[in-house]
Amino acid sequence: MNERNTELKKKMKKVLDKNRYQHTLGVAYTAASLAMRYGINIDDAFAAGLLHDCAKCIPTDEKYSLCEKYGIRLSDFEKKNSALIHAKLGAYLAEIKYGITDNDIIAAIRTHTTGEPDMSLMQKIIFTADYIEPGRDQAANLPEIRQMAFTDLDRAVAKILSDTLNYLGKRKDQPIDPATRETYEFYKDKLN
């Protein structure tokens, strides 16, 4: 692990609760494994994994205040669904608070909850690692998706989006972010 990631790991341990920190480590190591598989920078993938939820444990009111303070534009959907704003706020904090200058890492953090059409390899890796890390055990089709992630990443992304939309579609209390649907529309042909 490089020096930057050693420092980031220490900083995340201070700002995340115990369960979120364990999840974060799972995402970082899973992202590094996927980076090895797909031939991108392992340290950058690990850093993106460490920072993907860096804003998650900030109290909700403070998240909104920070977004307003820093001029982070939230969609109407995000304004009504506070669980999603940690991604955009986290991307901003990764840059200004944690010193990340790589735009691909920042984009991966920003899009790790909903994805976006035509994601970079780093974005797809963080999106997928967040879903399949070893601590996750509730999602449908996890064994299949975990295997798929190492053989056909685009297909894994499409399957994650499909399963997410199916899950949210069955829950009346969980509205669906249009960005998730738009991302699914882009990747759905990979499932055929």
Residue 52 main-chain phi, psi, to 5 deg: -60, -35
Report the CATH number of the 3-139 domain: 1.10.3210.10
Describe the crossing of helices 18-38 and 121-132 by its angle, rounded to 10 degrees: 130
Q: How far apart are CA 130 and CA 11, in angstroms?
A: 19
Token digits of residue 3: 């020096």
pTM exceeding 0.75: yes
> For the residues 29-45, what does the mean pLDDT come to?
98
Q: What are the structural domain ranges in the chain? A: 3-139
Contact assessment for residue 86 and residue 56, using Cβ atoms and an 8 Å cutoff: yes
- Predicted confidence (pLDDT) at residue 19 exceeds the cutoff of 80: yes
pLDDT category of residue 36 using cuts at 50, 70 and 90: very high
Q: Give pLDDT, residue 190.
A: 83
Q: Which of 79, 80, 104, 78 lies closest to 91 in space, CA to CA?
A: 104
